[in-house]
Amino acid sequence: EAGVVQSPRYKIIEKKQPVAFWCNPISGHNTLYWYRQNLGQGPELLIRYENEEAVDDSQLPKDRFSAERLKGVDSTLKIQPAELGDSAVYLCASSLVEDRVQVVYNEQFFGPGTRLTVL
Amino acid sequence: RKEVEQDPGPFNVPEGATVAFNCTYSNSASQSFFWYRQDCRKEPKLLMSVYSSGNEDGRFTAQLNRASQYISLLIRDSKLSDSATYLCVVKTPQGAQKLVFGQGTRLTINP
C-alpha cells in the first residue's frame, strides 16, 4: 500500500517568493495534517482537515499561509510571500478517524516531507 | 513552559547497553501518549503507544505516570540500528486528534 506522498521533496526559493507544497494522503484516510518541523525540534501542527473541512488551523500563520483540501483527498499548502524564518521541513500526515470518542490511539502516518530553504 | 519536554541529548551509548529517555507533559488532561522514532532526514514513524499500565514491545518498554505527568522509554540490549531521534508525543484533549511533539532525544549507538 502506498504511503503518504509529498512533492516536491526539496525547494529552494528567495524570500518574498511564493511556494506551494502538495500532499496525497493514504487512500481512504479522512484526516490530513500539515506540520512544520524546524531543525532540532519536533513537528508542530499547522492545520488539520477532516475530509475537506479545516477543523484546527489555530497554528497556521494566516497572513501568509493558506491551505486547501479540495474533495477531501489531496491537499496543498501555500506560503506567499515566503520569509527567511519559513525554512523548515513541511510534513504531511494522514489518519483514519472513524469515531471521535473511540479512536484515541489511531496512528498518524507521515509523508517524507518537503525541505524548504528560503534564501 | 513547553507542552512536552524532553532532554535533547545527544545520548551516545555502546552497543548492548540499556538506555532510558524521559519526557514530561504539562496538560494533565492529555488523553494518549506515544513514542515516535525519526531517522536522520526521514519522517517520524510510530514506535509504540504508551498505555497506563505500561507496555513492552521486544526490547522496548514504555511507562506512563499520570500523577507525575511523566513518560519514559527504555531500550534494552541496544543495537546500532536503534540510532535515531526519539520523539515523545502527547495527544491533547482538544479535538482529541492534535499531536504535540517534544523536541526529540537524539540517540547514537556506538559499536
Render A45-106 in DSSP notation, one character per residue: EEEEEETTEEEE-TTS-TTTEEEE-GGGS-EEEEESS--GGG-EEEEEEEE--S-TTT-SSP
pLDDT band at B1 (very low <50, low <70, confident <90, very high): confident
Q: What pLDDT was estimated at residue A1?
A: 65
Task: For B98, list phi and psi in degrees, rounded to 5.
Answer: -90, 120
CB–CB contact B87 A42 (8 Å): yes
CB–CB contact B97 A95 (8 Å): yes
CA distance A62 to A47: 11
Q: Is the pLDDT of residue A99 over 80?
A: no
Cβ atoms of residues A94 and A4 within 8 Å: yes
Cell numbers at B79, concatenated? 543495537
Report chain B residues whose CB lies below 8 A from the CB of A100. Answer: 96
Closest residue in B to A55 (Cα) is B95
**Residue range A17-46, pLDDT digits in tens:** 999 999 999 999 989 999 999 999 999 999
**Residue range A38-64, pLDDT digits in tens:** 999 999 999 999 899 998 898 999 999
User: Who among B31, B87, B99 is closest to A45 (CB)?
Assistant: B99
Report chain A residues whose CB lies below 8 A from the CB of B102. Answer: 42
Cα of A39 to nearest chain B Cα, Å: 10
pLDDT band at A71 (very low <50, low <70, confident <90, very high): confident
Closest residue in B to A5 (Cα) is B43
Closest residue in B to A105 (Cα) is B32
Q: What pLDDT was estimated at residue B96?
A: 55
- Mean per-residue pLDDT over chain A, rounded: 91
Q: What pLDDT was estimated at residue B30?
A: 87
A65 Cβ neighbours under 8 A, 6+ residues apart: A46, A77, A78, A79
Peptide bond into A81 cis (omega under 30): yes
Q: What is the spatial order of strands in the sheet that A5-7 belongs to? A: A5-7, A19-24, A75-79, A65-68
**Residue range B24-51, pLDDT digits in tens:** 999 898 888 999 999 999 999 999 999 8
- Give the mutation candidate from B35, B43, B53 for the A interface (greatest A CB count, under 10 A): B43
- The number of CA neighbours under 13 Å toward the Cβ of B104 is 23
Q: Is the pLDDT of residue A106 over 80?
A: no
Q: Is the pLDDT of residue A102 over 70?
A: no
Inform me whether the C-beta atom of residue A108 falls under 8 Å from chain B C-beta atoms.
Answer: yes
The CA–CA distances, whole Å, from B17 to A18, A116, B31, B77, B108 equal 48, 37, 32, 5, 11
Q: Is the pLDDT of residue A100 over 60?
A: no
- Give the mutation candidate from A45, A96, A98 for the B interface (greatest B CB count, under 10 A): A45
Q: What pLDDT was estimated at residue A2?
A: 83
pLDDT band at B53 (very low <50, low <70, confident <90, very high): confident
Q: Is the pLDDT of residue B97 over 80?
A: no
Q: What angle do CA B48, B83, B78 make, to 5 degrees?
A: 75
Q: What pLDDT was estimated at residue B52?
A: 87
Cα of A17 to nearest chain B Cα, Å: 25
